[in-house]
Structure 1
Amino acid sequence: MLPSSVSERILSRGLMDVLIRAGLVAILAISCYQVFHPFLNLMLWALILGVTFYPLHCRLRERLGLRDGHVATLIVVVSLALLMVPIYLLASSMAESVQAAIELVKEGDLRVPAPNESVASWPLIGQSLYSFWQQASSDLTSLIKELLPHLRGFGLGMLGKLAGVGAGFLLFIGALIVGGIFMAYGENGHRSAIQIAARISGPDRGPQIAQLCTATIRAVAQGVVGIAFIQMLLVGLGFVLMGIPGAGLLALLVLLLGIMQLPVLLITIPVIIFVFATEGATAGTIIFAIYSFVAGMSDNILKPLLLGRGVNVPMPVVLIGALGGMVTGGIIGLFIGPVVLAVGYMLFWHWVADQPQTLEDAEEEGRAT
């Protein structure tokens, strides 16, 4: 046997080697993260889009008989075209509206219709709203002068928000292109994901975790975007039939609120109030109000049907993960939150099911043998 001093020296040297290696690995990991951090959101969005569109990629490849790269290019080009057309139309419509408003202000023909007298009888805000509306209809120029100092800060804030939206849109376009590259190498990526998950969680749980992450991303993408699109169609149809000014822009705002997991009632309730204030309480306005309110609440019915489809965890887990991820991480958290919560939920119940053998079970097993 070695002397105690020699063994202690060997142990201390081995511990020092382990600490040095761990420190070098930590430095390497931090350095890699700092280099990769500017592209983190881009790659996360690309991964989400690639996973979401990959089933479509597989179906088109089988039906068209094209190579993976050609099918991925086709999906990216068609998606970009579908994005550019409504954005171009919206931008053109907004530019025309702004130009028309400027012309009305220059010519002095800008008029606000007088409010209905029933507005003054509304509880809490009726009288003040009626006075404000009446001043706008009678002397709009002086009202604009009074509000101009307050509107200046609001306008600067809106410009900043629009700049952020533009940067986010460019990021989305770049992520869509990178997602097309991921789809072109989808089979290799799927095998790599299973290998990574198996290396972390073991060969038994690894494939299940990879499948759960994939299914959760697709369920959230299809559920959230699909529900928001259905709500946009329902609410937008009512706005168009009722002749609401700017119905197309309001429908687009409904789509954005649905994707952001915000209540669509933020749009429908003010529109209902506007309709009652301008047209009064008629049979048509009452039917429109009921329809718009129900359409704005339709996500409460559609979420249980669509959001958790194909995921081997309860729907409330996915919904809580989507809402919590949205609050903590923004739009990207809408997808990351459910994945993290679903994986944690599955690992927790695997740990619960993997009960250690008790002393009584061991004794019974020994008697049986």
Structure 2
Amino acid sequence: MFDNLLLRILLLILLGAGLWVLAPFWSALFWAAVLAFASWPLMRWLTRLLGGREALAAGLLTALWIVLVALPLLWLGFSVVDQLRAGVELIKNLQVSGLPPPPTWLARTPLIGDRLIGWWYSADQQGVAFFASLKPYMGEMGNWVLARSAKVAAGMFELVLSLVLIFFFYRDGLRLERFALQMLERLIGGRAEHYMGLIAGTVQRVVNGVIGTAAAQAVLACIGFLIAGVPGALLLGLLTFACSLLMFPPLIWGPATAWLFFQGNYGYGVFLGIWGFFVISGVDNILKPYLISRGGNLPLVVVLLGVLGGLLSFGFIGLFLGPVLLAVVYNLVTDWIESPKRLQPPGGQDGGPRQG
């Protein structure tokens, strides 16, 4: 018995050491697992199409994810860096030569055009004092931008790593499923398959909600860009999809609205601002809860609390973790409450006929 206890302690130590080694990569592993799970029907179809060659199907799907997700996000990241560099150069030029002449569209602004021109010249005259007052904060601003740039770079590395790991989740998905089921059977016995289905269904609904909402926002954004005459509407729609996955679609339609005002298209600028705020961003509050709760036996309030609580507790990953954890807890409590009813024989406590 002492040998068995020692062996279990040793196994726990080895398990802890293994988790410690994997700790820096848990986020990338999580995203790779979620993406592979969400697109698993496509993996099954492509494997059948290729005659059962799982490795080839996994490689093709991994390449597809890189083209659809990694390349647009990398392009967006480099564009942001270029804009930051241009902003720094603009501030330096303003410190030396002041503001340029006011744009002609500023004077044509209804009702407040003359006042805006006056503010422009006033800001130009007071620019030296203004930049002198900002100088003590420029170092802090530079440090803040540097820290955020480091986080963006770390996020890009994590994204690339997750897209590399997704290949192995595709190739070994069935073996990983059997391994997880065997572990659950060791822990909770005969109810393991029930909870595997519960977790799989919850993750599938959350993934459908997130990706479905992002796709709807991308389509609505593309329609708005086409109506307003914004160039590159299709590309901006794809970028809106990527930003919707990060839950920040205004990062795309907001600058597009500002560009329309800068071009003097005030009507289309007002339209795109209203369309973006109420339609593109507003659909998230309606479509996502519906898609997540559809087809499940969970109350909608549990799903909403799981989504919001997961986001507040774990960040964007909590969007998936929160509903799954609450779903498992909810069903565990429900099973615990109903377990006496399942164990009780139909005829009464002792199995015999009820007495009248």
Output the TM-score relative to the length of structure 2: 0.75
1:169 and 2:156 matched = yes
Q: CA RMSD in A?
A: 4.3
1:231 and 2:217 matched = yes
In 2, the alpha carbon distance for the partners of 1:148 and 1:237 equals 43
Q: Which residue of 2 aligns with 1:65?
A: 51
In 2, the alpha carbon distance for the partners of 1:294 and 1:45 equals 30
Q: Which residue of 2 aligns with 1:209?
A: 195
Q: Which residue of 2 aligns with 1:292?
A: 276
Task: Please give the secondary structure, in 2, of the residue aligned with 1:355.
Answer: helix
User: Structure 1: 5+ residue runs without aligned partners?
Assistant: 1-13, 121-126
Among 332, 335, 351, the alignment partner of 2:336 is 351
Q: Which residue of 1 aligns with 2:137?
A: 150
In 2, the alpha carbon distance for the partners of 1:328 and 1:312 equals 24
Task: Please give the secondary structure, in 1, of the residue aligned with 2:340.
Answer: coil
Task: Please give the secondary structure, in 2, of the residue aligned with 1:313.
Answer: coil
In 1, the alpha carbon distance for the partners of 2:71 and 2:242 equals 17
Q: Which residue of 1 aligns with 2:67?
A: 81
Query: 1:326-345 deviations in whole A, cap 9, x for unaligned?
Result: 21112222222221111111
In 2, the alpha carbon distance for the partners of 1:273 and 1:211 equals 47
In 1, the alpha carbon distance for the partners of 2:128 and 2:260 equals 25
User: Structure 2: 5+ residue runs without aligned partners?
Assistant: none
Query: 1:110-167 deviations in whole A, cap 9, x for unaligned?
Result: 55655857579xxxxxx9x999766446665654443343343233212211221221
Among 291, 303, 308, the alignment partner of 2:288 is 303
Query: 1:177-232 deviations in whole A, cap 9, x for unaligned?
Result: 222112112222222222222222222x2112112222222322232133134324
Q: Indicate the percent of aligned positions where both proteins have the same amino acid.
A: 30
Query: Are 1:239 and 1:247, in contact at CA under 8 Å, matched by a contact in 2?
Result: yes
Task: Please give the secondary structure, in 2, of the residue aligned with 1:297.
Answer: coil
1:39 and 2:34 matched = no
In 1, the alpha carbon distance for the partners of 2:132 and 2:51 equals 65
In 2, the alpha carbon distance for the partners of 1:310 and 1:133 equals 57
Query: Are 2:209 and 2:289, in contact at CA under 8 Å, matched by a contact in 1?
Result: no
Instruction: Sort the Cα spacing of 1:163 and 1:321 in 2 relative to 1 into closer, same or farther, 3 A.
Output: same
Tell which deviates more after alignment, 283-292 or 297-306.
Answer: 283-292
Query: 1:69-97 deviations in whole A, cap 9, x for unaligned?
Result: 10000011121122344245435655665
In 2, the alpha carbon distance for the partners of 1:260 and 1:305 equals 19
In 2, the alpha carbon distance for the partners of 1:131 and 1:270 equals 25
Tell which deviates more after alignment, 187-196 or 338-347.
Answer: 187-196
Instruction: Sort the Cα spacing of 1:112 and 1:308 in 2 relative to 1 into closer, same or farther, 3 A.
Output: farther
Q: Which residue of 2 aligns with 1:325?
A: 310
Output the TM-score relative to the length of structure 1: 0.73
Instruction: Pick the structure with greater CA Rg.
Output: 1
